[in-house]
A and B are shown apart, each in its own frame.
Chain A
Amino acid sequence: MVKKVFGKPKYLKDAPFHYCPGCGHSIIHRLMAEVLEELDIGDITIGVPPAGCAVLAYDYFDVDMGEAPHGRGAAVATGIKRTLPDRIVFSYQGDGDIAAIGTAETIHAANRGENITVIFVNNGCYGMTGGQMAPTTLLGQASTTTPGGRNAARDAAPIDLSEMLAITHGSAYIERTAVTSPKTIRQTKRAITKAFKTQIANKGFSLVEILSPCPVNWKMSPVDAVKWIDNTMIKTFPLKVIKAEVGKL
């Protein structure tokens, strides 16, 4: 008698990930697919991938997926959810997508209390375009457009989008997590579960910001990248539940 203890989640396609070694997207995709299966919502879920490395998320998630223009994930998801309010709608966005070019769409979707779930992957840089400064790049952190390190006077300080979203009236659940260790990965899965449960319970806008390594653009080994998040990045972006006005889920 063989007992299956580990396998591919139901809502991931049978396709190898294209992401770079040490990248967090693969872990996050898997966690989301597990949650969709555990909450039994995959069959009614529609996902909105972004412009960026994760645009190809539709090659991996085995749910309906509709690609949004750069930064417009929250607006496209709004259109889908308002048309089909009994479906589950998520958008999956990177830091440049959500916190620079798509800031307005995101803040207003949150403020309207759109009943959607946003997975915000923060790797502190524009990954797909080759590591330029993102709105979340840390002060002093080098990027291809801040070769001498990000300078507050010239480049501004990193933006705390999740904290900003928390003060909008319509946001219900916002948590910042990471995917750097079994412990933080388990915590991320719990946060994703809560975010989707928030949507299932019609409580309003939910978002999980996930600090995720980008070893290639950070020019670090995957191990060093994970350590850098745990030791440095969390000082600017502390891991915590930022808002949870959801009652009992």
Chain B
Amino acid sequence: MTNASDTSTDTLPISPHVAAVEQACGPLEHSVYRGQQRVVVPAEKLLETLALLKDRGFDLLVDVSCVDYLEYRGAAHRYGLIYLLASTATNERLTVRAFVDDPEPTVASVVPLWKAANWLEREVWDMFGIRFTGHPDLRRLVMPEAFTAHPLRKDYPLQGRGERHNFPVITRDHS
């Protein structure tokens, strides 16, 4: 995905944090939207980037989320991971994104950096099937443990595949 159109509408300078990440990882796609800094990093460099940003003061992991770009116009990758960071000292915020693809969408877990990532990554695993390597306890968070699909993927039907009605029936005579 390109964010070039966003940068043209916003003239804020690129933050020093993004510059530091670029220094470590090479040139990256970054943008500013309504005063919010955003940067896209390669999935394999995600952990080292976030570790760097944590050292630079982003002590709060606000959210880990995901988007399925299946059949999305102009999308080059299938899954977009979104990490929302914040600094409680300076009130700065930063959005870090990374893209992963089928068949084995995998990214490094950031639980070693922020404990808050534990349940957030479990939810992303549950809903999208992104594997977080190094996660201490990657179980489903919302759906039942025996569930096999990842229901927020765009190729999963809204009404499911019959899981919701796969239960024994208790009749009057059997209760």
Do chains A and B stick together as partners? no
Interface residues of B (CB under 8 A from A): none
Interface residues of A (CB under 8 A from B): none
